[in-house]
C-alpha cells in the first residue's frame, strides 16, 4: 500500500496524483485555524529539505464543512491527520471527523517539530481519542523520542490501531553569507534522504517491540522502490511518500512498480511477503 | 489555459547578460503559458526544483533569466548547451495583459517576465530599475524600456494619472508601487518546493488572507486562480 505523507500533497490541487495512491492522507488539522509560520518557511540543505510550515490549516469547522466534502468527491480512502495542543483537542477532532464513513483512518500527529509539543503524553492522547471514536487510529511518532519502541507499545496499549513512522527531524540551515538562520523560525523539520536510516531504525525497533502484530506506515526519505522495500523489510506494512512528491508527480506509480520488481528480484512474489525480512536473523 | 507538464529539455544556449544568465531551452511541445507564470526547473544535485518566470518564448524556444543568488541558481548559470534539464509548468497565475493603459515596472531580476510580456502586449511602456550598472545590462532584453540605476528609484519613473501597472521586483519595490497604484498587478516571491499547492511553503499574507503563491499567485490582483492544477484532463490533453 502506497500513501502520501501528511502535508506533502493537496488532493484538491492535484487530484490525479492523489488517485494514484492507495489512500490520501490529508494535512494535519487542528481545532482552531492556524495561519502557519512567517516566511521564509523552506530552505534546502544537503540531503534534505527544511520546512517550518507550522501546521497551517483552516481549523476543524472549515475543514469539516468545506474541505472534507470536496475530498469525499474523490471517492478514495481518506486518512485525516489530527493535531492539537492537548488530549481534549485531539479527541474533539476525532469525535467529529470520526462520524464520517468516508474517513478510513485518523492519524494522530503526535510529533510535529514546528509547533510546541503537546503537553500530554502520547498514550494519554490516544486513550482520549479511542474513548470517542471507533475508527482505526494511527499514532504518528517523532524519530527524536529517546525510546520510540517504548512509546509505540504505550500507544498501542492505549488503543492505537497502528503506527506512522516517522515525522521529520529538527534541523537548522544557515545562510551562506550572513550565517543567520534561513527560516523565520530558525529551526524546522528536516525531511528527505537523510531521514532514511533514521526511519528504518524506528520501524525496525517498533516492529520488534510490537512483535509484528500492528500495521506500520513507514516513511522518511523514500524516493525509490528499493527504499520502500527496505522499510517493509524492517517491518512496515505500508509506505508513505513525502518530499519526493514535490519534484516528482509520478512517484507513486514509479515507486509502486519499482517496489514490485525489487521484491520479485529477491524471491518475494509480492512486496508484502518481505515484511519483517530484516528481522529473520533474530527470530531464529 | 495550458495544463502543466513535466518534461526533459535540451539546453539550446546559455549567455551571460551582465550579472544574469539567459538560459535557453528547446521548447518542443511545451506550452509557454502566460507572462508572469513560471516553471519549476530541476537543478542537478538539488533535492527540490526551483521556480523561474518565463522570460522569452520565441519560436521553438523557452528562455529563463537567472540571477545567481545561491547554490541552485549558480548551478543553473553553469549549465552548457547540449545538456538536458527537467522542467514542470507552466504554473501559477500570470498577469492580465489586456489592460487599457499598461505600464510594466521591473526591479532587478524582476525584469524576468517582461520581455515575454512586452512581446505579447505589443511593446507597452516599461520602466526598469537596477542597483548597479552591471545588473542594468539586462535591460538590453527590452530595448525600448526606460532605465534607472540607484540612487534613482524605479518608482520615480511612474507617471501620475490613471495607469494599469504590472510589476515584478523585490518586496520593498512592490510595496512602493502599490502605494502609488493600489490596483497594480504584483508578482510576489517566496521560496517554493513544489509549485502546485502541495507543501504550503509559499504562503504569503495579502489583503488579510493567506495565499499559496504558486496557486493564487505569483501575480496577485492578476488572473483568478484555476483549480485543480493537476487533473485527469491533463493526461487526456497530453495524450491527444
Ligand atoms: C514565481 C517565482 C518566479 C521566479 N522567477 C525567477 C526568475 O525568473 N529568475 C531568477 O533568477 N529567480 C527567480 N525566482 C527566484 C528563484 O527561484 C530563487 O532565487 C532560487 O530558488 C534560489 O535558489 P538557490 O539555491 O540559488 O538559492 P538559495 O540558497 O535557496 O537562496 C539564496 C537566498 O535567496 C533567498 N530565496 C530563495 N528563494 C527565494 C524566493 N523564491 N523568493 C525570495 N527569496 C528567495 C533565500 O532565502 C536566500 O537568502 C523566482 C521565484 C518565484 C517564487
Ligand atoms: C512541507 C512539509 C509539510 C509537512 N506537514 C506535515 C503535517 O501537516 N503533518 C504531519 O504529520 N507531517 C507533516 N510533514 C512530515 C511528513 O508527513 C513526513 O513525515 C516527513 O516529511 C518524512 O517523509 P519524507 O522524508 O518522505 O518527506 C510535513 C513534511 C513536509 C516536508
Ligand atoms: S510551492 Fe508548494 S504550496 Fe506553493
B212 backbone dihedrals φ, ψ, rounded to 5°:
-80, 115
Q: Quote ipTM for the complex.
A: 0.94
Fold of the domain spanning B5-91 = Elongation Factor Tu (Ef-tu); domain 3 (2.40.30)
Catalytic residues of A: 112
Q: How far is A3 from chain B (nearest CA, A)?
A: 14
- Kindly state the percentage of chain A with pLDDT values over 90: 93
B194, B197, B225: best to mutate for the A interface, most A CBs within 10 A: B194
3-state helix, strand, coil in chain A (%, to 5): 40, 20, 40
Q: What is the pLDDT of residue B228?
A: 60
Please report the residues numbered 55 through 84 in chain B whose beta carbons come closer than 8 angstroms to any beta carbon of chain A.
70-72
Q: What is the pLDDT of residue B29?
A: 87
- Kindly state the percentage of chain A with pLDDT values over 70: 95
Q: What is the pLDDT of residue B5?
A: 84
B197/A contact by beta carbon, under 8 A: yes
HSE (CB half, 13 Å, CA atoms) of B24? 13
**Domain spans of chain B?**
5-91, 102-220
> Kind and range of the H or E element at B114?
helix B114-121
Assess whether pLDDT exceeds 60 at residue B240: no
The mean per-residue pLDDT over the stretch A235-240 comes to 98
Assess whether pLDDT exceeds 60 at residue A115: no
Domains present along chain A, CATH in parentheses = 2-37+53-169+196-218+225-240+249-282 (3.20.20.70)
Q: What is the pLDDT of residue A42?
A: 98
Q: What is the pLDDT of residue A70?
A: 97
- Kindly state the percentage of chain B with pLDDT values over 90: 80
Q: Which of A13, A176, A193 sits opposite B228 (nearest CB)?
A: A13
**Where are the extended beta strands (E) located within chain A?**
2-4, 24-25, 42-45, 48-51, 78-82, 103-109, 137-141, 162-165, 169-172, 187-191, 216-219, 238-241
pLDDT band at residue A120 using 50, 70 and 90 as cut-offs:
low
Which CATH number is correct for B102-220, 3.90.1420, 3.30.1490, 1.10.3470, 3.40.50?
A: 3.40.50
Q: Which of A14, A43, A176 sits opposite B230 (nearest CB)?
A: A14
The mean per-residue pLDDT over the stretch A50-57 comes to 95
B83, exposed or middle or buried, with CB in 10 Å at 0-12, 13-18, 19+?
A: exposed
pLDDT band at residue A189 using 50, 70 and 90 as cut-offs:
very high
Amino acid at each position: 500500500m502506497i500513501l502520501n505523507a501528511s502535508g506533502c500533497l493537496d488532493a484538491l490541487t492535484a487530484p490525479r496524483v492523489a488517485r494514484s495512491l492507495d489512500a490520501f492522507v490529508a494535512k494535519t488539522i487542528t481545532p482552531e485555524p492556524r495561519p502557519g509560520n512567517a516566511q521564509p518557511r523552506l530552505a534546502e540543505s544537503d540531503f534534505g529539505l527544511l520546512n517550518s510550515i507550522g501546521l497551517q490549516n483552516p481549523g476543524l469547522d472549515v475543514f469539516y464543512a468545506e474541505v472534507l466534502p470536496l475530498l469525499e468527491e474523490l471517492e478514495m480512502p481518506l486518512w485525516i491527520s489530527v493535531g492539537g495542543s492537548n488530549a481534549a483537542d485531539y479527541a474533539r477532532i476525532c469525535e467529529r471527523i470520526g462520524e464520517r464513513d468516508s474517513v478510513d483512518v485518523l492519524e494522530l500527529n503526535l510529533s510535529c517539530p514546528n509547533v510546541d509539543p503537546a503537553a500530554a503524553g502520547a498514550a494519554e492522547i490516544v486513550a482520549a481519542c479511542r474513548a470517542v471514536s471507533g475508527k482505526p487510529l494511527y499514532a504518528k511518532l517523532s524519530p527524536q523520542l529517546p525510546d520510540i519502541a517504548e512509546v509505540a507499545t504505550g500507544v498501542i496499549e492505549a488503543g492505537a490501531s497502528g503506527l506512522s513512522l516517522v515525522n521529520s527531524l529538527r534541523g537548522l540551515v544557515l545562510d551562506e553569507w550572513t550565517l543567520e538562520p534561513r527560516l523565520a523560525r530558525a529551526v524546522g523539520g528536516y525531511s528527505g534522504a537523510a531521514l532514511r536510516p533514521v526511519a528504518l531504525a524506528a520501524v525496525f525497533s517498533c516492529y520488534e517491540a510490537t512483535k509484528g502484530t500492528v500495521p506500520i506506515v513507514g516513511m522518511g526519505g523514500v524516493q525509490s522502490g528499493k527504499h520502500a522495500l527496505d522499510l517493509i523489510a524492517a517491518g512496515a506494512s505500508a509506505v508513505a511518500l513525502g518530499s519526493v512528491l514535490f519534484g516528482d508527480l509520478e512517484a507513486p506509480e514509479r515507486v509502486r512498480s519499482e517496489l514490485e520488481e525489487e521484491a520479485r528480484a529477491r524471491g518475494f512474489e509480492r512486496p508484502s511477503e518481505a515484511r519483517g525480512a530484516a528481522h529473520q536473523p533474530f527470530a531464529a | 489555459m495550458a495544463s502543466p507538464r513535466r518534461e526533459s529539455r535540451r539546453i539550446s544556449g546559455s549567455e551571460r547578460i551582465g550579472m544574469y544568465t539567459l538560459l535557453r531551452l528547446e521548447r518542443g511541445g511545451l506550452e509557454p503559458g502566460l507572462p508572469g507564470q513560471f516553471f519549476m526547473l530541476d537543478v542537478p544535485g538539488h533535492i527540490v526544483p526551483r521556480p523561474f518566470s518565463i522570460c522569452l518564448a520565441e519560436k521553438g524556444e523557452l528562455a529563463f533569466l537567472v540571477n545567481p543568488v545561491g547554490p541552485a541558481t549558480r548551478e543553473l548559470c553553469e549549465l552548457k548547451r547540449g545538456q538536458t534539464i527537467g522542467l514542470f509548468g507552466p504554473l501559477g497565475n500570470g498577469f492580465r495583459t489586456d489592460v487599457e493603459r499598461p505600464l510594466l515596472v521591473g526591479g532587478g531580476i524582476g525584469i524576468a517576465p517582461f520581455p515575454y510580456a512586452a512581446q505579447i502586449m505589443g511593446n507597452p511602456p516599461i520602466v526598469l530599475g537596477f542597483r548597479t550598472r552591471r545588473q542594468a545590462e539586462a535591460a538590453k532584453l527590452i530595448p525600448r524600456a526606460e532605465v534607472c540605476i540607484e540612487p534613482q528609484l524605479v518608482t520615480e519613473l511612474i507617471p501620475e494619472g490613471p495607469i494599469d501597472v504590472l510589476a515584478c521586483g523585490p518586496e520593498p519595490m512592490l510595496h512602493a508601487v502599490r502605494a502609488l497604484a493600489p490596483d497594480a498587478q504584483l508578482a510576489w516571491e517566496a521560496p517554493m518546493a513544489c509549485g502546485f499547492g502541495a507543501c504550503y511553503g509559499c504562503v504569503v499574507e495579502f489583503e488579510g488572507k493567506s495565499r499559496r503563491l504558486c496557486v493564487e499567485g505569483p501575480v496577485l490582483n492578476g488572473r483568478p486562480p484555476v483549480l485543480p492544477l493537476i487533473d485527469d484532463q491533463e493526461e487526456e490533453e497530453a495524450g491527444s
